[in-house]
Amino acid sequence: MEFVPAPAVHRVLCADCGTPIVPNSANLCVACLRNTVDITEGIPKQASVSFCRNCERFLAPPQAWVLARPESSELLALCLKKLKGLPKVRLTEAHFIWTEPHSKRLRVSLTIQKEVLTNTILEQTFEIEYLVQHGQCPDCAKLAAKNTWKALVQVRQKVPHKRTFLFLEQLILKHGAQKDTISVKEVKDGLDFFYSQRSHAIKMVEFLTGVVPVRSKASEQLLSSDTHSNTANFKYTYSVEIMPICKDDLVCIPPKQARQLGNISPLTVCTRVGSSIQLLDPATLQTCEITSAIYWRNEFNSLATVTDLVEFTVLDVEADGRSRGKFVLADAQVALAGAFRSGAGQDEDSMDYESAGYTNQIYHTRTHLGGILQPGDTALGYFLTNSNYNSDDFASLPAERIPDIMLVKKTYPNRRKKNKSRGWKLRSIGKEAGEEGETGSGRGVVGRLGGRDQKKVEEDYEHFLRDLEEDPEMRSAVNLYKSTDVNMKTETKRGPKKPQFAMDIDETPRQIEEEEEEEADFPEIQLDELLEGFDEMTLGEGREEVVEAT
């Protein structure tokens, strides 16, 4: 094989240092070329960024304030926009250099390229130092001053519980309607939402109109005016009243209005609350929709709420064959819970039905729960025979049209006694108890009003969590998140300790009866319904705190 020599490489000496180099248009080596030409000329080596310590946002010129985490791509893009001469070169790489968090400095390493001579591209890496200047954004400046808000949305509902606002809070979080809210304050019958702009308040009112049945009224207050420029400064207030009928409430429609709604029976149960309410007659499965306009034209209140529900034991269920959606019409035989047990196991707060003669009586009723009730189950319902309602519409009903019992929903008392931790969490707009800036000890934004019974707040929150577990349609309207610190330990019964070698004895029938099995059809929330996690952001940008559902 014949050797073929490679072509000779012609080299020349560098014009400055005399180093042999490959010929180029400048006849200079790389080191001398960098000393001669500076491609970073025109790019400042020091700059500053404005940072608001209250809301933790950076100023994006000219007037926008954006949320950016340390060493994030958003913060890097904001820093690069501050450099004036950067568009004249080609940026190939940019990254942060670690600095102490309290140093108020940001260091960024840049690698740029630029054509300095004909067919000669020079690449150079250099650092830029940014000084973080602390200040206040306009929103935080308003909060620091007395002029904290410009528009106010007052949401009210005249009911004795707060479960409507707990559900409304979750709807607001899921749709991101709280992102423009400055602050939220709890008052006697509802919540107050404060905004820095009137358009944000109008947007909130429109959102509430689409998710709950409301009526609203607007008013304004003149703060100052300038006669020379014909301008004025106003504060705007929007009053929003939610219909005082909640899910599972017993409702007696005025007879005249019931005839207009398809001649439905006046005695109904509220099964759904959205932009309108849906009322159901359990005896015939007939339903009707009542919109806000129809309701406020002729107002009526609930006869009874979920706090008046009584536990009943289902003895027998026979389906009628008729159904509508998830409701199945059935004839049921029920008795009061614990009617066939001894009085030792009754609660102290329960009513003494034995003296009234209702203890061992069996009641026949028609129910819409024929698809889920089985003999031996426990259901909650309204005990109409033993109730006295202050309502002219109810008093005008014929006695034969009033049933003894009206079942509302199925309950799971055996599982509730276990007090097991839930494997999911909810978010809240407000801060939790013990956190910085916390003003109360309630569940999130609800339950912070001074003087409210804390036990009543906890009961409302527990009933709301149970409604989420038992109603898939209601659960689909909110966001549930996985709980990472669930304590799965079961509580043991308290009792006298046995000796190490104590003799085993047979349990009495009463002990066996107390240790009842859990309901097989208890509504467990599946993992595919839970979300993994969420970003921690401020209230103005959608920040919510975690409330663990225990």
What local confidence, expressed as pLDDT, does residue 87 receive?
A: 84
Q: Are residues 293 and 409 in the same domain?
A: yes
CA 433, 439, 441, 446: dihedral to nearest 10 degrees? -110
Q: What is the number of alpha carbons within 13 Å of residue 250 lying toward its C-beta?
A: 26
Angle at 250 between CA 312 and CA 279, to 5 degrees: 115
Residue 271: inside a domain: yes
Tokens of 409: 């929903």
Q: Are residues 311 and 367 in the same domain?
A: yes
Residue 394: inside a domain: yes
* Backbone φ, ψ for residue 98 (5° rounding): -65, 135
Sign, CA torsion 155/160/166/167: negative
Residue 138: inside a domain: no
- Residue 321 is inside which H or E element, if any? strand 310-324
Residue 153: inside a domain: yes
- Residue 316 is inside which H or E element, if any? strand 310-324
According to DSSP, residue 192 is labeled E
Q: Are residues 178 and 322 in the same domain?
A: no
What local confidence, expressed as pLDDT, does residue 156 receive?
A: 92
d(C-alpha 262, C-alpha 527), whole Å:
42
Q: What is the pLDDT along the chain (550 residues), one digit of tens a residue?
A: 677 877 777 788 887 787 888 877 777 787 787 777 778 888 888 899 999 888 888 998 888 888 888 888 889 888 888 888 888 888 888 999 998 888 889 999 999 888 777 677 788 888 999 999 988 888 777 776 665 788 999 999 998 888 888 889 888 988 888 888 888 888 888 889 988 889 999 999 999 999 999 999 999 999 888 888 888 888 999 999 999 999 999 999 999 999 998 899 999 999 989 889 999 999 999 999 999 999 999 999 899 998 889 999 999 999 888 898 889 999 999 998 877 665 444 454 444 555 445 567 889 999 999 988 889 889 999 999 888 888 898 999 888 889 999 999 988 877 666 666 777 888 887 643 333 333 333 455 666 554 456 778 888 888 888 888 888 888 888 888 887 655 434 333 444 444 433 444 444 444 444 445 556 666 677 666 677 654 443 344 433 444 444 4
Q: Are residues 169 and 208 in the same domain?
A: yes
Look at the chain and report how many structural domains it folds into. 3
As a three-state string, the secondary structure of 99-155 is CCHHHCEEEEEEEEEEEEECCEEEEEEEEEEEEEEEECCHHHHHHHCCCCCCEEEEE
Residue 443: inside a domain: no
Q: Is 524 helix (H, G, I), strand (E, B) or coil?
A: coil
Give the global pTM.
0.66
d(C-alpha 479, C-alpha 525), whole Å:
12
Q: Are residues 388 and 276 in the same domain?
A: yes
What local confidence, expressed as pLDDT, does residue 494 receive?
A: 40
d(C-alpha 20, C-alpha 11), whole Å:
6
Q: What is the number of alpha carbons within 13 Å of residue 357 lying toward its C-beta?
A: 1
Which pairing describes strands 405-411 and 20-21: parallel, antiparallel, or unpaired?
Answer: unpaired
In order, the DSSP letters of 223-287 are: EEEETTTTEEEEEEEEEEEE-S--TT-EEE--HHHHHHTTS--SEEEEEEESSSEEEEETTTTEE
- Residue where one domain finishes, among candidates 194, 224, 242: 242
Q: Are residues 209 and 253 in the same domain?
A: no
Q: Are residues 309 and 370 in the same domain?
A: yes
* Tally of residues, the chain: 550
Task: Note down the domain range covering 177.
Answer: 147-242
Q: Are residues 290 and 405 in the same domain?
A: yes
Q: Are residues 117 and 195 in the same domain?
A: no
- Residue where one domain finishes, among candidates 122, 156, 177: 122
What local confidence, expressed as pLDDT, does residue 456 receive?
A: 80
Residue 460: inside a domain: no
Residue 264: inside a domain: yes
Q: Are residues 264 and 303 in the same domain?
A: yes
Q: Are residues 256 and 331 in the same domain?
A: yes
- Residue where one domain finishes, among candidates 186, 214, 242: 242
According to DSSP, residue 41 is labeled T
CA 548 to chain centre: 12
Burial call 73-104: b when 16+ CB within 10 Å, e when fewer: eebbebbeebbeebeebeeeebeeeebeeeee
Cβ–Cβ < 8 Å for 182, 196 = yes
Q: Are residues 207 and 229 in the same domain?
A: yes
Write the burial class of residue 540 (CB in 10 Å: 0-12 exposed, 13-18 middle, 19+ buried).
buried
d(C-alpha 178, C-alpha 189), whole Å:
20
Residue 434: inside a domain: no
d(C-alpha 482, C-alpha 445), whole Å:
21
Write the burial class of residue 372 (CB in 10 Å: 0-12 exposed, 13-18 middle, 19+ buried).
middle
